[in-house]
Structure 1
């Protein structure tokens, strides 16, 4: 069996999920990957056969999206050209993790696919949303990468086709410890936006994984790390808690390990606002804006006695068997 797997590379989560799935997919057949977008910072150890700049996210300095940068880097003509060039008819199964080029290619070439991933869960109206829905956000979630079949991944089973998050083997097999540091992963924030606040929480040490850092080094109560999967896993497994965005994979892994989580969704990023709504329903603290008193928010979060939900891990062999059975129907 020949398998085509499209990865949306607007962040590291999609790549992390594909990397975890790859050895399991190999048991079903030969896998070729298509990487769409250029936001990811992880080393990609996958057989990427096709690439496209696609549509990538660009961030403002302190926690928001830069829509002008996003818009000016979209090339519709190239997108159609890339979609037309994908030889999808050469594959038996097409798996799409929220990539618009692959969805367009399927339409142009009259082949079908299955959408596997977190965004697929938003096909259901039962999946949590913020109090104020975004018409544009809903359109993107439902129509950006449409597929006739969907297998969603989310924190809870909000609908029949939604399954638990895919969590890396290193996390599932880990024995969590607490070395009393806070892990930080906030890719939409520049260093200058948060450094002073972390410095003010002087009795706490921070492991900050930050784009642009070339080597591990410590200044005061902050150890700066390059974005590296292995080092991040080690820090997460041994931390007291994590401060992260409103993404899906990282909060899921932290909750699986029983760690404290403080979520700061990217401003005006509708999917992250939806994730934040889901996290709030589970009792996870969410901060929508980082202001002058952020250090107080961190201290209050650390001092709160919160019972965090235990996150179930996906049964990957079972999920993939379901996917391939569904594809044949």
Structure 2
């Protein structure tokens, strides 16, 4: 069986999931990956056969999206050419992790596909949304990468086609410890937006993972790390708590490890606002604005006893078997 797997590389989570799935996918056949977008900073250990600049996210300085930079870097004519040139008819199965070019290619070439991943869960109206829904956000979730089939991943089973998160083997097999540090991963924030707040909490050691850090180094109570999956996994496994955005993979892994979480969704990023709504329902603290009092927010978060919800890990072989059975039934 020949498998085409499209990865939306607007962040590291999609790539991390694909790397976790790859050894299992190989048991079903040969896999070629298509990488769309250029926001990822992880080292990619996958057979990427096709690439496109696609649509990438750009951030403002302190925790928001920069829509002007996003818009000016979109190349619709090139995206159409990329979609037309993908040889999808050479593949038996097309798996799409929320990539618009692959979705367009399937439409142009009349090829069946399944959208598989976190964003697929939003095909259900039962998946949590914020109190104030965004019309534009809903349109993007529905029409950015449409597919005739959806298999979603989320914190809880909100609908029949939604499955538990895919947790990395290293996380599942770990024996978590509490070495008292706080793991920080907030890719939409630049260093000087948060550094003062972390320095004010001099009694706390922070492990801060940043895209522009090349070598691990420590200054005061902050250890700066490059975005490296192995180092991040170890920091997360042994942390007291994690401060992260409103993404999916990192909160899911932290929940699985029963770690304290403080979520700061990217401003005006509707999917992250939806994830934050789901986390709030589970009792996870969420902060929507980071200002001069962020050090006090951290202090209150650490001092407050909160129940850490328990979530399941995905059974990857069973999930992939379900995916291929569902795909082949159409």
TM-score using structure 2 length: 0.99
Cα deviations across residues 149-194 of structure 1 (Å, max 9, x unaligned)?
Answer: 0000000000000000001000011000011100000000000000
Give the SS at the match of 2:136. Answer: helix
Residue 85 of structure 1: how far off its partner (Å): 0.6
Query: Which residue in 2 is equivalent to 1:78?
Result: 78
1:138 and 2:162 aligned: no
Distance across 2 between alignment mates of 1:312 and 1:204:
30
Cα drift, residue 62 of structure 1: 0.1
Aligned to 1:19: 19
Which residue is 1:100 aligned to? 100
Question: 2:219 maps to which residue?
Answer: 219
Equivalent position of 2:64 in the other structure: 64
Matches within 5 A, 1:1-329: 1-329=1-329
State how many pairs are aligned.
329
The one-character-per-residue Cα deviations of 1:117-166 (angstroms, maximum 9, x if unpaired) are 00000000000000110011001111100010000000000000000000
Q: Deviations over 1:202-254 (max 9, x none)?
A: 10000000011010000010000000000000000000000000000000000
Task: Structure 2: state its 5+ residue gaps.
Answer: none
How big is the shift at 1:310?
1.0
> 2:64 aligns to what SS in structure 1?
coil
Query: Could you list the runs of 5+ residues in structure 1 that have no partner in the other structure?
Result: none
3-state SS in 1 of match to 2:236: helix
SS state of the match for residue 254, structure 1? Answer: helix
Could you say what secondary structure the match of 1:215 adopts? coil
Tell me the distance in 2 between the aligned counterparts of 1:242 and 1:272.
Answer: 16
Cα deviations by residue, 1:276-304 (Å, 9 ceiling, x for unpaired)? 00000000000000011000000000011
Give the secondary-structure state (helix, strand or coil) at the position aligned to 1:251.
helix
Separation of aligned partners in 1, 2:175 and 2:151? 30
- How far did residue 311 of structure 1 move? 1.6
- The SS at the match of 1:139 is helix
The whole-number CA distance in structure 2 between the counterparts of 1:175 and 1:140 is 39
RMSD: 0.4
